[in-house]
Amino acid sequence: MPASTGGIIGGGPRPCNSGLPGNEPLTKAEAVLNSPHFPLLETTLSGPRPLIAGNWKMNAGDAAGIALARAVIEGAGSETLGCDLLLCPPAVILAEVARLAGGSAAAVGGQDCHAEDAGAHTGDLSAIMLREAGASFVIVGHSERRAGHGETDAMVRAKAEAAHRAGLTAIVCIGETEGERAAGKTLDVLAHQVGGSVPAGAGAADTVIAYEPVWAIGSGRTPSPGEVAEAHAHIRARLAGRVDSAAEVRILYGGSVKPDNAGAILALGDVNGALIGGASLDAAAFLAIARLCR
């Protein structure tokens, strides 16, 4: 785990109105991009600053979620952590969590977005809406959405592109099923998912990859450290031909990360943080994992 020092690799409003003549008004997406809370991401001499992200899934969308966010934000408040923190609460409390997180070390993200910016899509949320509610990240292509909502690589890529248009960092999730691992197809599956799900032209400033073996999510099982390291190195290599500054793209591990196994995982090369489900619902456990990044 690299120590944190270093310059800025991403963030800052992108020059979204270059090419526009004169005083033409900004579009909504451009106005959002120019807003002040676009995240500044640091890098280190030896790699990107780790990101510890909590995916609350369909839990804690009420007062308990507000209390959880407060506990994480206040718990981290007096410390200098060696990582960035991200909370991905249910959308119904995202704006309130973002207000609580304002000025703190924690960023806020959505758990999914639609591929289009607006329109007749009952029940969906656009990336722009998430951004306006205070998000700076959005998870796309989580295996629960791929499996439960039939999301394909092409759909995931379109969502990541929507996130980028809105000025959000897309956390693109990939990972093999248990059957694919048993059949020796893990690396092929990951290569295929990187090629299909990550927008061409993506880079470290707007894209994070989360490697989440489907069979490890919520199961209490994890790949061996060697298997995690092999997968991450393979993902990095596949990114190299596809995105800008592949060495700086954060590749998170996700799947049954807990305080007692996180240290070994976070110490691996090419592991730049974690996407945490169950353990992110416990502020003490979530912060214990984050402290391992010191």
Quote the least distance from Cβ 253 to ligand PGA, whole Å: 10
Tell me which of 176, 212, 232, 234 is the catalytic residue. Answer: 212
Q: Would you say 34 or 261 has its CB closer to ligand PGA?
A: 261
Q: Nearest-CA neighbor of 274 among 287, 205, 45?
A: 287
Q: What share of the chain is helix, strand, coil (3-state, %, to 5)?
A: 40, 15, 45
Q: Nearest-CA neighbor of 208 among 153, 154, 262, 136?
A: 136
- Binding positions for ligand PGA, rule: CB under 6 A: 55, 212, 217-218, 254-257, 275-279
Say whether 132 is catalytic: no
- Cβ-in-10-Å burial (0-12, 13-18, 19+) of 143 comes to buried
Nearest residue by C-beta to ligand PGA?
277
> Hey, is 170 helix, strand or coil?
strand
Look up residue 273 and give its two tokens: 């943080």
Tell me which of 142, 164, 232, 234 is the catalytic residue. Answer: 142
CA 162 – CA 242 distance, rounded (Å): 18
Q: Would you say 43 or 55 has its CB closer to ligand PGA?
A: 55
Say whether 142 is catalytic: yes
Quote the least distance from Cβ 224 to ligand PGA, whole Å: 16
Q: Would you say 166 or 252 has its CB closer to ligand PGA?
A: 252
Q: Would you say 165 or 181 has its CB closer to ligand PGA?
A: 181
CA 187 – CA 194 distance, rounded (Å): 11
Q: Which residues on neighbouring strands pair with residue 106, listed in sequence order?
A: 85
What residues are labeled active site? Answer: 142, 212
